[in-house]
Amino acid sequence: MCGYNDLWRHHRRMMNKWLNIRVVTQFDKLLEHQTQLLLHRMLNKSSQPQPFEVVEHEFLFTMASTMLRLVYGYRLQSEDDAFYTETQLTVDRIMDSMMLTNFFVNIFPGLINVPDWVPGTGWKRTAREWRRHRQEALRAPYEWTKSQVEAGTAEPSVLKYLLEGDESVAELSSEEKENRLQELAISLYGGGTDTTSTALLKFVAAMVLNPDVQIKAQREIDTIIGPLTLPTMADRGRLPYIHNLCLEVLRWHTVGPTGIPHVCTQDDTYKGYDIEKGTIIMSSIRAMSRNSNIYKDPDVFNPDRFLDSNVPPLPGFGWGRRKCPGMHFAESTLFIMISSLLASFTFTRKLDDEGKEIVPKIEGAANSLSFKIKPFDFNLKPRSEQHRQLIKDLATS
């Protein structure tokens, strides 16, 4: 955890420069292109018997491809690519280690002083191994982009512009610059892959459980955009129901139910509770999402709840000066991918031997900062043969 100091402020300035609400639109074409690639890959795998595995993999691969291109200027070609597998493994471990209950040392910091030979300290070996792996995962893609910049062949990316002498790093020493840019790059990548792909999975779950919502959303797209036309980022303001649907996905089954852990920097008092300096504070985003005083019938998936201007979006991106700097990019990503998936595919329930619909049970999976869900059964298919052809044509356009 980084305190509110010069290092934190510098990282935040660099992120805000590339992810603020005005600048983030420069990535619209990248998002549209990555979404089209996603649709085409999903079409090719739509006949597989376990579509959950398909969408889970493709959502993560798409976000990894998007973030590698945006951050490093790297074009991901294969799921076996080391930049993908090694960087994603590092992000997964970071997400796991940030959950207080996964490692007791997160709750009892004094355990760090216990000798390695004491039983129960295997977490120390795990931490050392993860740290070594993390350093390599930070270094390799950074060095690749750096070599591309030096050769004059680098494609546009956040790291390219920073390496070329952006004013935000001009006063840093060579070592400081390398360390901060490597940390910035992995933070951007990690913040944009796991969380967004998890939100997309929960969108699919919501559509399978709420076919009336799916029909209404598709009707809005067909009426405003056209029945055989994919949405673009320029259509964002024209699709209010899709906008509210995205907000409801983030509220209904929160991606980060406990939020990011914070540390109290000074002794404080809140509603009669004395909070000592150094106390780890976690915000129950999940409890906020179930506050019936704010969200009527909170367990019901209802995008129309946001038609009421008094109903706020769930603060899932945090608040204050530590609010997620990538929230505008995440919102853009969810809009273009969710609207395009709805325009192209239908997610339906499977039938049992008697022809009755099987209503899947959505359950949480691993104990990680990004709260994933367990596999569930559903059908994935193009909305029609015309939509199938529309998606096929994307490969040649």
Residue pointed to by tokens 């039983």: 119
Spatial distance between the Cα atoms of 101 and 368, rounded to a whole number of angstroms: 10
CA atoms within 13 A on the CB side of 245: 31
* Residue given tokens 């039938």 in the structure block: 351
Distance between CA 132 and CA 70 in Å, rounded?
25
How would you classify the pairing of strands 345-348 and 379-382? antiparallel
State how far the alpha carbon of 88 is from the alpha carbons of 74, 114, 153, 193, 294, in Å: 15, 31, 25, 8, 36
324 annotated as ligand-binding: yes
Both tokens of 187, joined, read 């933070």
**Backbone dihedral angles phi then psi of residue 132, each to the nearest 5 degrees:** -60, -45
Count Cβ atoms within 10 A of the Cβ of residue 159 and give its class: 0-12 exposed, 13-18 middle, 19 or more buried: buried
**Contact assessment for residue 183 and residue 10, using Cβ atoms and an 8 Å cutoff:** no
CA distance 397 to 346: 23
Q: For residue 349, what is the enclosing H or E element?
A: none
Placement of tokens 């993560």 in the chain: 60
Please name the amino acid found at residue 108: F
**What is the chain's length?**
397
DSSP 8-state class, residue 103: -
Tokens linked to 232: 């673009």
Which residue, 146, 151, 145, 169, is CA-closest to 18?
Answer: 169
Task: Please tell me whether residue 270 adopts helix, strand or coil conformation.
Answer: strand
Closest CA to 393 of 377, 382, 378: 382
Binding-site positions read 324
Binding-site positions for heme read 324
